[in-house]
Amino acid sequence: MRIMLACAQGMSTSLLVAKMKEAAELNEVDVEIFAAPEAEIPKHKAEIDIVLLGPQVAYLLEDTQEVLADTNIPVTVINSVDYGMLNGGKVLDVALKLIEKTKEGEK
């Protein structure tokens, strides 16, 4: 699984990526997590399973959903409290559940 966190420049989400990777390792979850600027979403859409938008770019939710409309990639905005507290475990859990829900919907 590949999780993409997107924000304006891809830098502010990098701390959360590190915390999510720690949580994945602790829970033995095989996942690749990376941060990138939101402008790079189209470039990565063939290789990702979900896009998590930083709260500061929540206004891009609809635009991002349109960019990914030809895929089955879910998009959601990271909870601002979890983002601010760098709660990597919680954000990872939300992402994994949304990926699973999307895959179940494909069946």
For the ranges 18-22, 23-27, 102-106, the lowest mean pLDDT is seen at 102-106
**For residue 105, what pLDDT is reported?**
80
Tell me whether residue 7 is one of the annotated catalytic residues. yes
Q: What is the pLDDT of residues 49-88, one digit of tens each?
A: 999 999 999 999 999 999 999 999 999 999 999 999 999 9
Which long-range contacts does 95-102 make (Cβ < 8 Å, 24+ apart)? 95/3, 95/20, 95/50, 95/52, 96/1, 96/29, 96/31, 98/50, 98/74, 99/1, 99/49, 99/50, 99/74, 101/74, 102/50, 102/72, 102/73, 102/74
Neighbouring CB atoms inside 10 A of 70's CB total: 8
**For residue 103, what pLDDT is reported?**
85
Q: How far apart are CA 79 and CA 50, in angstroms?
A: 15
- Helix, strand, or coil (residue 12): coil
- Helix, strand, or coil (residue 79): coil
Catalytic residue among 3, 7, 91, 96: 7
Structural domains in the chain? 2-106 (3.40.50.2300)
- Tokens 């954000």 -> residue: 91
| pLDDT greater than 80 at residue 106 | no
